[in-house]
Amino acid sequence: MNENIQRGHAGEDLAVDYLIKKGYRIIHRNYRFEHGEIDIVAEDGAVLVFVEVKSRRSKQFGEPEDAVTSRKRMLLRRTAEGYIFENNIEDKDCRFDVVTVDYETTHPQVRHIENAF
């Protein structure tokens, strides 16, 4: 497995640990629908949260959250609609969060952006 993929998986594991410590309940990881994928589906109290995780080892190309482009947001929304449809979810508040993992320092830094878009 290449280094970027390994770092991405490790970043998702860190994000899951972080969210659990904040009291989130993890429902699904790497949910796929058609051409899209949502890294983490969780519950924050009564709110269904779709989480995109972005890991970076440098800021050469900007902040990790900058990689969640308008095209990526549209694909995440479609995938979330697929999740809601497949799981017969009705009348539930939903939101999209981004968790970034910065590997620039010795210890990875996790940052959580609630209601990112």
CATH of the domain at 15: 3.40.1350.10
What pLDDT, in 10s, does the model give residues 17-76?
Answer: 999 999 999 999 999 999 999 999 999 999 999 999 998 877 777 788 888 999 999 999
- Band the pLDDT of 1: cuts 50, 70, 90: low
According to the model, what pLDDT value does residue 90 have?
A: 92
Instruction: Report how far residue 18's alpha carbon sits from residue 102's, in angstroms, rounded to the nearest whole number.
Output: 14
When divided into structural domains, the chain yields a total of 1
Domain that holds residue 109: 3-113
